[in-house]
Amino acid sequence: MFGYESYDDVELIILLRKGDLNAFTTIHKRYYGVLYSHAYKRLPDREEVKDILQELFTYIWNNKETIKFNINLQAYLYTAVRNKILNVFKHQKVKSDYITSFEAFLVNDQPTPDETLRIKELISIINAEVRALPPQMRLIFEMSRNANLSHLEIAEKLQISPLTVKKQVNNSLRILRVKLGTHFFMMFFLIFFLFHLLPRQF
């Protein structure tokens, strides 16, 4: 990659379109730090910012032959990051609406039709993230949370060690916490608790 640092953005884009990995790496190295700082000032969530930048640079590499930098590379990158941050905020607003409906249900006990719909959608979002877990991790997680089996019982049924079960459960919780966000993640436990104690309404 010797000498690539001396290329300007236009030269790097030309090489990038030809599939030059060194050109892509140079662009990544040149802009990742400043984009991270720019994004973190507006979205102070390190994992979320990392996900945004990974998604952005992955998109650029996968679409290197057809992507259009309408103004220039720097402007394109900053605009793309800004738009992705706005999408995160919109997604968080949707989550907030679901959480508000669920919290209202906890207070009022009897949900309104709109709250019932939002709670169903909230449960669907959580279930989708659980289904996205790796197969064995998902199986162990569901045996622990849905069937309410102990780590030892799961280990005996699957013929694996209790330590493996514990690690898989902890890893699944870590993944869900990242995917759902802290507040949304807490809603998951409230839903789990209530729907194992209350009569089925949904």
pLDDT at 31: 95
- State pLDDT tens for residues 134-186: 999 999 988 887 777 888 999 999 999 999 999 998 888 888 777 766 555 55
Last residue of a domain, one of 88, 122, 146: 88
Q: Which of 20-24, 108-112, 178-182 has the highest mean pLDDT?
A: 20-24
Whole-angstrom CA distances from 81 to 10, 23, 62, 69, 178 are 20, 20, 17, 14, 20
Total number of domains constituting the chain: 2
CA-CA-CA-CA torsion for 201, 126, 88, 116, nearest 10 degrees? 0
Q: Would you say the pTM of this structure is higher than 0.75?
A: no
Q: How many other CB atoms are found less than 10 A from the CB of residue 51?
A: 15
Does residue 148 fall inside a structural domain? yes
* Structural domain containing residue 154: 110-197
Domain containing 187 — which CATH number?
1.10.10.10
Burial of 95 (C-beta count, 10 Å sphere; 0-12/13-18/19+): middle
